[in-house]
Chains A and B, each alone.
Chain A
């Protein structure tokens, strides 16, 4: 049986599961309503207590919407963050926090990290298993857009050729991500730091003040930081960049990146050029004796297995190799656990809301009691009263569930906009089988629970209510 189930395509499995989740509610509905036409009476009750009904529907919609939004959002977050990291097969950096490095390299979040020296890059560049080994440098920004230094090869690997303009060809040219508010031909002077951490006094301070990076880099090549605003260093305040190209939109934080030749970032910070003196070339091969250091090297191996071999080889006392995808998977696992807790709370809320609404309906049924008593008096069977009350509840639950789906989707879209604004990660929000199944489960459960107010209404509809009023 399990074998047969596993042979069924995933989409069909989801559809079958959805059907079976809806089935109890639908079956109960058929069983309750069969032989009757209660819709006129139900519409009368819906119209008579329209504001109260609207409130019930809204309460259900909000609780179902919250559950739907949690599911949809978590999925979109996973997908969006994974998409941002998918081009980063293997990252090699100095030992430290993998999460910090992941945030720095993939999500362009400013963190202080130690530098790797040129020998590591040289070894990787000469390794026959390696297709691409690109240094990456950052620490500057312009109007909140981070300036990242790397090679043309890495840019092509990451985002392809610019969709507008061309690739940089000198140390004063940059290409920009799709969401950078600059145009081709614009020139600008970068500042040190990023976002709120920008060193606003940069242009006014003593430019001769030396950053510890410079000294440390020269001495050890390991303990330096390219980022970090607490470390003032020589920063060329007159270094101008010219925008020569714009990349296609990728839906990742790199859309807000300004990508310059890595040599330019070194030059801005008064470091060696990575090449022999008077060698004006950009990009690899670098001369490791003149290599000022890089916080990370992005590696793309020719074969998948080579990534694992390289990761193993570069996990040493002096270097750290990691797969961003793996780190992300661990974060997602954590996110998944949080989601489980939130989903549980949300499901609990849904049930509690449903129960409180049903309690409200039991009270409301008292207002219907005279009408129900009249129906009994003119010969309506008890099951008809049950059918009217149950269907009335079912309509509120169905409307609330559907509205909850829409609300959950809109809520997720709104959250995605907020996340995109804060992180530049585009979240693709869509409702999947999972969300539909979640709502279907709630729908069926609520319809089963709706039996109680219906039963109470049916039992109470009696001659005493006929005398009332």
Chain B
């Protein structure tokens, strides 16, 4: 299991004002963190920074013992490949591929020894999420089904951490509930760390704690939201 520790992290935008300016933030291994905040607060940038897609200009980001800032671009790719699973607001699937092919996309670029495991796990999660016809092209899938394929894709690589950026935003109420059920159940059972950006109070209420981002600054835990969600 992986914990996260951030110290004095700053991400500079095009202007002089930093997009993110975080003094300190930590996540225990297996913890489920909700991240909320108004639009433009830097939530997505925060997640992108945590997975190494955005590199801060100062500070340190430790995942376990690994300092993400000290890694080269190739090693950050490798780190994401091995330890992180990403879910986006839009499922970002390859329409021409089947559900299984999409969920096991990482098998295209991981070392040959890991390919079989990825395909096995992708098939397992698809079935678990109620998508047994894995050979079907995703073009015919509903929004909820597509997002479940995206969750299966994030889990197929057996990551230690799941980073989800508003995964339920494009779904209706029923699909939101199903997706959150699947996501929370899996991460809990497999003791994965989960960081999820969301505006959905019910979704945030299922997290261990929630932090708020305002103008790139973490405003600490928000138990109110959790209470409201419940």
A281 to chain B, nearest CB (A): 84
Contact B77 A379 (CB under 8 A): yes
Q: B98: nearest residue on chain A (CB-CB)? A: A40
Q: Contacts of B105 on A, CB cut-off 8 Å?
A: 41, 375, 378
Q: Quick one: closest B residue to A36, CB to CB?
A: B109
Q: Does A44 lie at the interface of the complex (its beta carbon under 8 Å from any beta carbon of B)?
A: yes
Contacts A43-B96, A48-B96 hold; do A381 and B107 have CB atoms under 8 A apart? no
Q: Flag if B88 contacts A379 (CB, 8 Å).
A: no
Whether A379 pairs with B81 at a CB distance below 8 angstroms is: yes
Q: How far is the CB of B134 from chain A (nearest CB, A)?
A: 14
Contact of A377 among B51, B79, B94, B111 (CB under 8 A): B51
Which of B84, B86, B105 counts the most A-chain CB atoms under 10 A from its CB?
B105
Q: Write out, one digit per residue, whether chain A residues 378-410 have a CB within 8 A of any chain B CB (1) or not (0).
A: 111110100000000000000000000000000
Note all chain B residues with C-beta closer than 8 A to A166: none
Q: Within the complex, which residue of B48, B85, B97 is in contact with A44, where a contact is CB–CB below 8 Å?
A: B97
B108 to chain A minimum Cβ distance, whole angstroms, is 5
A377 adjacent to B53 (CB under 8 Å): yes
Q: Which residues of A contact B84 (CB under 8 A)?
A: 379
Are A378 and B74 within 8 A (Cβ)? no
- Residues of A440-454 contacting chain B, CB below 8 A: none
Q: Is the CB of A41 within 8 A of B108?
A: yes
Known pairs A376-B77, A379-B157; A44 contacts B94 (CB<8 A) = yes
B101 beta carbon closer than 8 Å to chain A: yes
Query: Does A38 contact B108, Cβ atoms closer than 8 Å?
Result: yes
Whole-angstrom distance between the Cβ of A377 and the nearest chain B Cβ: 5
Interface membership of A374, Cβ < 8 A: yes
Asked if A230 is at the interface (CB within 8 A of a chain B CB), the reply is no
Cβ B108 vs Cβ A377 within 8 A: no
Interface set, chain A 26-83, CB cutoff 8 A to B: 35-38, 40-41, 43-44, 47-48
Residues of B within 8 A of A363 (CB): none
Contact of A37 among B74, B77, B88, B107 (CB under 8 A): B107
Q: Are B107 and A374 in contact (CB under 8 A)?
A: no
In the assembled complex, the Cα of A462 lies from the Cα of B73 at a distance in Å of 12
Instruction: Indicate if the CB atoms of A384 and B88 lie closer than 8 Å.
Output: no
Question: Do the beta carbons of A377 and B86 come within 8 Å of each other?
Answer: yes
Asked if A467 lies at the interface with its beta carbon under 8 angstroms from chain B, I say yes
Q: B60 interface residue, CB < 8 Å from A?
A: no
Mind listing 11 A-B residue pairs with CB under 8 Å?
A35-B112, A37-B115, A40-B101, A41-B105, A44-B96, A48-B95, A371-B94, A376-B77, A377-B88, A378-B157, A381-B81
Binding site for A on B (CB under 8 A): 44, 48, 51, 53-54, 73-74, 77-82, 84-86, 88, 90, 92, 94-97, 101, 105-109, 111-112, 115, 153-154, 157
